[in-house]
Amino acid sequence: DLWPRLDVLVVPSRPTTRWNEPNGTTLLEAMANEVAVIGSDTGVIPELIGDAGIVTPSGEAEALAGALARALDPSERTGLARAARARALKLFSDDAIAERTLRFWQEMLEKPGGTPGSKR
């Protein structure tokens, strides 16, 4: 029930010397539910968002404020939300992941020495 009530999801993750954002499940859920997303340029976030949201430099409050101001515009936000959903479905849906996995294993089998049980 939460996703339809959101205008934008912001994940301003900040890396440390021992940690970098390893998981973007919340971002993917928002994207799949057609919510505009903003995230920092750390860890997996830029890869997930791609060109379907706004990526800001980590720790730069002014850049984040600018991204939020941009997302306040209803037409901009709608465009970002639609792009987010399209990207989530194209790249991260169960079908998309299954297709890439199948393609990977088909390519492995086509390579010399790629038959099951062989050593590389």
Tokens 């939300």, residue located: 81
Report pLDDT digits (tens) over 30-69.
999 999 999 999 999 999 999 999 999 999 999 999 999 9
CA–CA distance, 76 with 42 (Å, rounded to integer): 24
First to last CA, the chain: 49
Q: Report the percentage of the chain scoring pLDDT > 70.
A: 94
Report pLDDT digits (tens) over 92-120.
999 999 999 999 999 999 988 766 655 55
CA–CA distance, 19 with 12 (Å, rounded to integer): 14
CA–CA distance, 74 with 7 (Å, rounded to integer): 9
